[in-house]
Structure 1
């Protein structure tokens, strides 16, 4: 098939999904979760081929790497999706008009969703499970870095679909070249929605070039503000978890903002970080507070380029402020509107932060590492939306449905 034939086949398959019951969909998802475990050795062998082509020092390496534990987690997420209520056919609003017309708004699938992503093979499983549960077909456009892994995963999904006599075109993986990306971005009439997952460069490219509606996801420049009234023990644990749990993901901490009056606590707040060799780029007051109390080889003066940077690495900026207003101004200037955090024992200041900080997810006394569809109880996620149109934050089942109006009458005519 050429790509236009592929797009047409996916669109045709998407219509067949409407005939599947939620019970049938759940059986398929559980079988795919089982297959992911049964074929662990095959998936890891193919993943190794991708890993061999990437420098382990590359921040993308961790995102690319699959392990037995990660595959177990992926399978668990698929089973969680199967256990969730169907997002389809929900009556979102209904009313009887004065003329007797019965009008209701009902949730329905988008139809065909195109996903463009980089070195994240787990996305292939996550996207398919969410799309199937929500009645959508999906076109996957992975990066060349993960092509062996993605093809292995899609082949396993296709095998399960064939077992259930389901049209395998409900999920297609495009070639890992730029030409396929260009064709997908202009597949008007076939694809209803494009969702890019990856770097800001990828997201900006998709937004500028797509002629299909786009929901932006992914890029995260995340801050934690240690307030004048913050608890230092709690703060150290939150900062360490947000920064080091997984540095290659979009919810990882990039900048610690600290109140000037609490600079004496900065060495303690950063103490757990040096165990993971986190490089700190500190402004002058923070640098002076850390000098001699944080490993010299890991402490660097901050430059303007350090702020607003998504490091995706064991690196973090530190900014000193004299007030909460200055902290929020710094966030307004540099945030990607993904996830922001305040550490404070003052309830009113926590509420103010939540009210005034413009981000998809705003935390009080908890790390940004929780920004994740599974952690939010959504089963899995198709991405973290950083825009405000249609969906914001972790996008799961409800966020990849739209709605239509259904109107029932008994012969009414309009004057």
Structure 2
């Protein structure tokens, strides 16, 4: 078939362009056919070559994707499957559970005692001998006096309020106690029934439900948060957490620590909050509300608050205030830390030698000022950069009269720099 051509020198009209395009499509139907799977390029398949020192490794868990983005990504995967670009590998495990699930399959613990690990220093106590040698137990076993107690103890950790409520009934069943049913046992029996039929406090995340994030800090202790969603008339937990303050955060102003708690909590709940159309951010410090809601970054004079607010721009929320007496859950968590400050030191990094030198300079007396200035200049020049770059770094962090001349003298008097020149 002859190639379609445009024989005229003038620009074609719209109808002529459409006619010309239709002729090209009809001449090359296999190129413009979008109904079938994506065609392969000619030239054979591509081979992936591994280097001689390559070592295989396994990935057993998927990357965490925010809930509000999952359906969009799933649609993209389905489109790639339809175009024969990817193929799904078989899997034999359930990877997720719908938020509205009501019926669940119950399972019995297979070889339950064998699921309890014996401490390594106690394993020698379980040694037994056979015709083929000696063995020692690494897991709990039937017949060991403490196996049942330990199994029940670990099982009670996941049963919530049921074990405490049923404790008086357990005592009644012990063989060395006299059977005597009292009003106390009536109360315990009713509490046990209530605990068994009460709905769980924790709930699955549902992007369509009202969402609230409450944060609080204790200036001498730490910070905590609770992430809640409204199920009917009740607000249920989705996630909660707490941690210590870092050494730098203990020197923050109160409003700065409160903002740091908001940023840390939002990052912890990012898998739920990213892409969410709206959620409520609740704090117990009223001056923080306009900073989070209405004030522009340029209107906030505190230099630390705008930096933290910029990191919150990808989330859509409205900040609100409630009094401290109604803010008990995050307040209690902020006073009961469960994570160390080393693991979660991701809000602001003030562990800079230059910053430390500046803090010392603010606390120093006038007689020590010259010495501290020299120490600060040495920190600025730790990377052994030239005069211009060291000056640029100094202008971003410090100022005192004549600091440019001090930078020049420090760089020129550096013995290591002179050796390299």
| TM interval, short-chain normalised | under 0.3
TM-score (structure 1 length as normaliser)? 0.24
**Greater gyration radius:** 2
TM-score (structure 2 length as normaliser)? 0.24
Structure with bigger RCO (C-alpha 8 Å, 6+ apart): 1
